Homo-oligomer: A and B are copies of this chain.
Amino acid sequence: MNDVPSLQTLLKQLQQVPYLASKNLYRVAAHFLSLDAKRTEQFCQAIMAAKERIVHCPDCYTWVEKDRNCVFCHSTRRNKKIICVVETWQELIAIEKTGGYQGLYHVLGGAISPLDGINPADLTISALISRIASVGEIEEIILATNQTPEGEATAAYIASQFNKHNLAVRVTCLARGIPVGSSLEYMDRLTVFKALSERRPF
C-alpha cells in the first residue's frame, strides 16, 4: 500500500514493538485508526509521561516514580539484610507475585552476553558491590538470575566479584528442579539431573 505513507510509517513503528506478531500489525494499526483522537492522545501521553517520570532507584535500580521514594528501599516492612539480584524488572515482578519474599532487590539491567555486546560494565554489578560494602549489614545475597547460559554466567561473575572484593556475605541461588505440577516424563534430561543431584530430605 505504497500510496498510504502514514500507514506505512505507523506499521514500521509497530514492527519495532516486541511481542507484537507481524501478522497482527494491520489489526493493531486498524485499532489505533478506529480509536477516537482523545484516546489515542492518552495512549501516547502515557508512553511519553512514563519515559519522563520513571527513573531508576539510585540504590537498587528498580523503577521509581520521579520525586517519590523507592517502594522497596524505603519500605519499613521489608528485611533490609537480604538482597535479591534479578536481571530485569520482569523477574522482580515474578518474585513479588509469589508473596514469599520480603527482602530488598537489585536490578542488574540484563545479563552478561558478549554476543549481544552486553559486558559486566553495562550492568549494575559494581553498584551492587559498593552498595553491599557501604551498607555493611547485608547478610544474604540471592542470585536470582535466569537459568539461561547468560544468566548463569552473570551469577558466576557476580560471585567471583564478591570474592575479589572480600565481601563476607552469604551468597545463595534459586533452587533448580521439577516445576510444580510437572511430570518427570516431560522434563528435559538436565532438569531431572539437577533435581536429582540437588535432592533434599523429604
Contact = CB atoms under 8 A, between A and B. Distances in A.
Interface of A: 1-7, 9-10, 12-13, 16-21, 24, 26-33, 35, 37, 39-44, 46-54, 63-65, 68-69, 71, 88-90, 93
B90 A33 contact: no
Contact of A30 (B29, B30, B88): B88
A19 B21 contact: yes
B10 A19 contact: no
Contacts of A13: 42-43, 46-47
Contact of A63 (B4, B42, B69, B88): B4
A101 to B, nearest CB: 15
Contacts of A33: 50-51, 54, 63
Taken together, the copies of this chain in the complex come to 2
A24 B18 contact: yes
Scoring A41, A48, A71 by chain B CB atoms within 10 A of each residue's CB, the highest score goes to: A48
B40 A71 contact: no
A28 B19 contact: yes
B89 A46 contact: no
Contacts of A39: 16
Given A4-B64, A89-B26, A18 B47 contact: no
Contacts of A54: 4, 6-7, 33
Given A13-B42, A17-B28, 19 more contacts: A1-B71, A3-B64, A3-B69, A6-B46, A6-B54, A6-B65, A7-B65, A10-B49, A13-B47, A17-B31, A19-B20, A19-B21, A19-B28, A26-B90, A32-B51, A33-B51, A35-B51, A40-B47, A44-B47
